Amino acid sequence: MYNSVWLEDLEMHLHRFLWRDAEDGDIEEYAITRVNIGDRPAGCIAQLAMREAAKLSMFTHLEEECRILEEDSYVDDILTSHNDLEKLDENTKRVEEILKVGGFFLKPWVRSGQSGRQEHVSGKPQSIVRQSAYPSKPNERRRQQSLGGRLPR
């Protein structure tokens, strides 16, 4: 969650570290390029970025989903409910769409009463959690997993 938010160039310099691959190798300077869970304001930054994504003009018609992100989320948890399961599925799908535009990719949703694990029904494993969409392009996945980068000299 936190790793989805890119740091600005100025902030990146506060996250510098030195690295070398071997004891006799050259020391190189690197910097973390994304918000890290170890940063004290990381939760607040991630929450603000999620809410800002929901405020984009392309999502103004998704009032319920924007409300979910504003009122039913806390840091990296989204806790919402609805009496109609079809409506709940629509809401969660649209919440994922909003967050994807903001660079956030969700883990699988777990509903109340579900553990998120595989359950065995009559000897056959049955998945009880719907998988969310992850980047389809390999380059997108690599970019998302990248936490550090070499600083230019």
- Domain range list for the chain: 2-150
Q: Structure tokens of 96? A: 């994922």
User: Reduced to 3 states, what is the DSSP secondary structure of residue 27?
Assistant: coil
What's the burial of 68, exposed, middle or buried (CB within 10 Å: 0-12/13-18/19+)?
buried
Tens of pLDDT, residues 61-108: 999 999 999 999 887 788 888 888 899 999 999 999 999 998 888 888
Give the end-to-end CA distance of the chain in Å, rounded to a whole number.
30
Q: How confident is the model at residue 40 (pLDDT cuts 50, 70, 90)?
A: confident
Least confident of 17-21, 28-32, 37-41, 57-61: 37-41
pTM across the whole model:
0.63
Tens of pLDDT, residues 97-147: 999 998 888 888 887 766 655 554 455 443 333 333 334 444 444 333 333
